[in-house]
Chain A
Amino acid sequence: MGKVNISFTINGSSHQIDVEPQWTLLEMVREQLHLTGTKEGCGTGDCGACSMIVDGRLITSCCMLAPQADGSDVTTVEGLLANGDLHPVQQAFIETGGVQCGFCTPGMIMATKALLDRTPKPTLDDIREGLAGNLCRCTGYTKIYEAVMTASGQEI
């Protein structure tokens, strides 16, 4: 079965590559582009660990076929650093203790970025709605709520 030739940008750099049609976007990014920051927790859309932003929308990359990313603009956690500086969301997660084992963290940070892009000053309810697709087993979410508040410049 034929590989598919696709073009896309990821974290600002353009690529044109051949992909196996049955590979997911997650597999392509991790295995072919060696960007291993994005994690696979379930492979079936249920945990959010694989979250990326594709054409401005937050998606779970484990259930998107790689060829369907043809022509898209993809952002992964690796794309958040600006000149080596941490993104405010990343900084806030460290400072508040919103990171424990770190396995949900890349997805959680992408979901937070997508939330703040839509709603720059979210309420607690907005946060609890916006992150519902991202499971974290370590934190109980309390410090993640604090991280999002901090990242959006609000009092905890």
Chain B
Amino acid sequence: MAQETKTRDKAGDSEYTAVGKPTIRIEGVGKVTGQTKFADDLTFPHMLHAKVLGSPHAHARVKSVDTADARQHPGVEAVIAAADLPAYKMNPSNRRGVIFAVDEVLFQGQPIAAVLASDPHVAEEALALIKVEYEPLTAVTDPISAMEDGSPLVRSAISDVDRSEEKGHVTIDVEQEEAEGAPSNIASKINFSRGDVEAGFAEADCVVEQTWRSAMVHQSYIEPHATIADFDNSGELSVWTSTQAPFYVRDELCQTLGIHESKIRVTATEVGGGFGGKIFLTELITAALAIVVKRPVKYIMSRKEDMLAATPAPFAQVELKTGMKADGTLVALKARLIYDSGAFPGAPVMPGCLFVGGYYKCPNLHIEGFEVLTNKVSVGALRAPGAHNATHAIESHMDIMARELGLDPLEARMKNAVEEGDPLPSGQPYPRIGLKDCLRAISESDVWKRRREVEGQANRGVGVAIGGWIGGLQPASAIVGLNGDGTIDVTVGSADISGTNTSFQQIAAEVLNVPLSSVNVTTGDTKTAPYAGMSAGSKTTYTVGKAVKLAAEDAKRQMLDIAAQRFEASPDELSVADGKVHLDGDDDKVLTFARLGKMTTNFGARFAPVVGRGTMSTRKSAPGFSAQAAEVEIDPDTGAITVLGYAIVQDAGFAINPLSVEGQMQGGASQGLGIALSEEMKFDEEGRLLNANLLDYRLPTTRDLPPIETIIVEVPSEEGPYGARIIGEPSIVPGGATIANAVADAIGVRVTDIPITPERVLRALGKL
């Protein structure tokens, strides 16, 4: 396929009839009417509600758990502590392998025991009656001092770290060194080197060295974690859960509870926001409780529990030194990245290390990454996990160096931007990518063009930054069937978290040349749906979409075969249009899909049913890049920041549904803006979270976000359906740096920590 790039206009002109057109969501009516069922909207006969007691301490020894009084509480059906759990394969080195803390609690909110009752209020009241005796231990909260020799330990030594979940988000062949030797809080290290950094710095005309910090942030999906589980006497476990990863949940439950995968049915209910945070969390505990009581059990996390004990994204410190020649060539990069993993391993330091040195060609680099344990909730994935922390650093440096050398910040980036064939710090070459196209497009955005006007205006500034993500890879499959009435059913196993089922509808409609209204798409449960990887790592359209295309092509082939037999013609002479198979050149030889449906499903029908099958696996990723620009105004006396304008450009490869692609871009950008401006989980010295609610943990509101200017560019990927590439994640990556650069442009000084709060602005201005 020849490389062609275009910037898409709103109408989505293309040679196709279904793909590439703005398409309204297949499940839209259910959602606007409130008829869509989320996990908490489901109830079952004899269902019990679970409430979970979390540790008030961040680090303590659990000396005893006394549930006697709670059991006596009227209305309580069961109280379950560690000792009452069914046998399971406990793995203390893994968050996913521990249901209730046994001897040692490692973070505030870690589950200790649960109460079950028909009335959730009763269960909650009884929680207060569980008596736990703790012996508080030193809470290690600062990852930087936790790295030092002699730091108190976060926990007893661990082994067997399982990184399977991370691999779903970013798939790349890099080995992480698990820490060995004397017990330490460093869980793993990573190292990338190329060329000779010191020689590179010697060559540079401008060298910048700075330490950057980015706060621990929470995915803050509006629907908290929600799961229902049921276990019957035949040994079959059913789970309805708000997850991005039904098959992963099944696999984990199989391994931990020792139930065959064939005996587990996981139904991914509609996900009320996931962003990487809804992979596997409440499923194991809920399943274990259901196994004990043999009744359906519902566990809905309260917002507070979700803030305390889900899987937020890490704090990171990035120490970066970069060197540039006067002509703008980046010649050396040295970085040390420290990611706070919380109480269990799993921090995304590897992608951080890849991206800190992965956006620009740089002959000499040395990158070291550390994953450090602390007594905080253990982290998980948030949209392009680990990338924004590193991007904040490198993209701030690009601006600082360009400014010092008197270069245009976009040109400095353009000069060094990676292209197809350039290596990541790990050595892997990039496939075809659209970074330069994004840079060109952002220079055309209204926000960036306002730079000239804003220049010289006090306390106003415009900034730009880029970011990218490689994406995950997992095999996928899909089934496309022809119904008796000629309509088409697409069945997939991927949870629809971003409008993917609508894209699948478009793909099947395109292949079969039928109106969208003839195609429906279902996410099946793990027993009925064909396998798909987790809806994470932005890969769902790229992989499952490809499988749907193959399945639709297979179904089409089968239909043509039947029609060919019927018309005594060759399939090559046939084509499909308007829900009919036509014999080319003979207007009388038509077979409607409805007729074909009957011919393959009726009593005594001559032909077998049409069931198209698509399976795929690829090792080739389709990285996505985004460039963003912001215009801000600062109140120099209060430090308040107002975002006056924001623009995002992203390479979508091919936007199958421009409406969803824009939505993903705007949504990711808004999360990046939250990271940039207001989101921060704050802990006290004992490791207790100080802002476990959505008033003090500040997601951007409408008052904080202007309309976002949205520009799609399309550099087709090599293997994605119609050239589509990963979409969901790149949009969150540049926000922190974009705002940091705009703020620096406005006030002339740098705020090195994100979020850039008013207080930090005033400190940078020397007013505090």
A interface residue count range (under 10 / 10 to 19 / 20 to 34 / 35 or more): 35 or more
Tally chain B residues at the interface, Cβ within 8 Å.
57
Are A132 and B703 in contact (CB-based, < 8 A)? yes
Are A105 and B31 in contact (CB-based, < 8 A)? yes
Q: How far is B41's CA from A46's CA once the two chains are assembled, in angstroms?
A: 21
Q: How far is B34's CA from A36's CA once the two chains are assembled, in angstroms?
A: 7
Closest to A47 in B: B694
Are B271 and A38 in contact (CB-based, < 8 A)? no
Are B303 and A102 in contact (CB-based, < 8 A)? no
B671 within 8 A of A: yes
Are A38 and B34 in contact (CB-based, < 8 A)? yes
B243 within 8 A of A: no
B396 within 8 A of A: no
Residues in chain B near residue A136, CB distance under 8 A:
222
Name, among B221, B275, B663, B670, the residue most crowded by chain A CB atoms within 10 Å (CB to CB).
Answer: B663
CB distance from B580 to the nearest CB of A (A): 30
A138 within 8 A of B: yes
CB distance from B419 to the nearest CB of A (A): 29
CB distance from B505 to the nearest CB of A (A): 15
Task: Tell me the chain A residues, 86-130 only, with Cβ under 8 Å from chain B.
Answer: 86, 90-91, 93-95, 97, 99-106, 109, 124, 127-129
Q: Can you list, as one digit per residue, whether each of B6-17 has a CB less than 8 Å from chain A (1) or not (0)? A: 000000000000
Residues in chain A near residue B302, CB distance under 8 A:
43
Say yes or no: A99-B28 contact (C-beta < 8 A), given A36-B37, A139-B666, A141-B705: yes
Q: Can you list, as one digit per residue, whether each of B460-503 has a CB less than 8 Å from chain A (1) or not (0)? A: 00000000000000000000000000000000000001110000
CB distance from A46 to the nearest CB of B (A): 4
Are B670 and A139 in contact (CB-based, < 8 A)? yes
Q: How far is B710's CA from A86's CA once the two chains are assembled, in angstroms?
A: 29
Closest to A134 in B: B702
Task: Tell me the chain B residues, 379-411 only, with Cβ under 8 Å from chain A.
Answer: none
Say yes or no: A81-B221 contact (C-beta < 8 A), given A42-B303, A46-B693: no
Are B694 and A46 in contact (CB-based, < 8 A)? yes
A78 within 8 A of B: yes
Q: List 28 A-B contacts (CB under 8 A).
A: A22-B121, A30-B41, A36-B34, A36-B37, A36-B40, A37-B35, A46-B694, A47-B303, A81-B33, A94-B32, A95-B24, A97-B24, A99-B32, A101-B270, A101-B274, A102-B31, A102-B270, A104-B222, A124-B707, A132-B703, A134-B702, A135-B699, A136-B222, A138-B273, A140-B668, A140-B673, A142-B710, A145-B702
- Say whether chain A's binding surface is mostly helix, strand, loop, or mixed: loop
- Residues of A in contact with B (beta carbons under 8 Å apart): 20, 22-23, 30, 35-47, 49, 76-78, 80-81, 86, 90-91, 93-95, 97, 99-106, 109, 124, 127-129, 131-146
Residues in chain B near residue A47, CB distance under 8 A:
222, 303, 694
B457 within 8 A of A: no
Closest to A127 in B: B702
Q: How far is B498's CA from A124's CA once the two chains are assembled, in angstroms?
A: 26
Say yes or no: A78-B222 contact (C-beta < 8 A), given A86-B29, A103-B272, A124-B707: no
Closest to A22 in B: B121
Q: How far is B702's CA from A133's CA once the two chains are assembled, in angstroms?
A: 8
Q: How far is B185's CA from A108's CA once the two chains are assembled, in angstroms?
A: 45
Q: Which of B33, B41, B693 contacts A77 (CB 8 A)?
A: B33
Residues in chain B near residue A90, CB distance under 8 A:
32-33
Q: How far is B710's CA from A98's CA once the two chains are assembled, in angstroms?
A: 15
Residues in chain A near residue B36, CB distance under 8 A:
102
Q: How far is B33's CA from A80's CA once the two chains are assembled, in angstroms?
A: 8
B561 within 8 A of A: no
CB distance from A139 to the nearest CB of B (A): 5
Name, among B29, B121, B222, the residue most crowded by chain A CB atoms within 10 Å (CB to CB).
Answer: B222
Are B38 and A105 in contact (CB-based, < 8 A)? no
Are B670 and A141 in contact (CB-based, < 8 A)? yes
B357 within 8 A of A: no
Are B222 and A100 in contact (CB-based, < 8 A)? no
Task: Tell me the chain B residues, 302-327 only, with Cβ under 8 Å from chain A.
Answer: 302-303
Shortest beta-carbon contacts, A-B, top 6: A37-B34, A103-B272, A140-B670, A102-B31, A140-B666, A46-B694
CB distance from A105 to the nearest CB of B (A): 5
Residues in chain B near residue A43, CB distance under 8 A:
302-303
Are B270 and A140 in contact (CB-based, < 8 A)? no
CB distance from B225 to the nearest CB of A (A): 12
Are B32 and A137 in contact (CB-based, < 8 A)? no
Q: How far is B695's CA from A38's CA once the two chains are assembled, in angstroms?
A: 20
Are A142 and B275 in contact (CB-based, < 8 A)? no
B669 within 8 A of A: yes
Q: Which of A93, A128, A138 contacts B32 (CB 8 A)?
A: A93
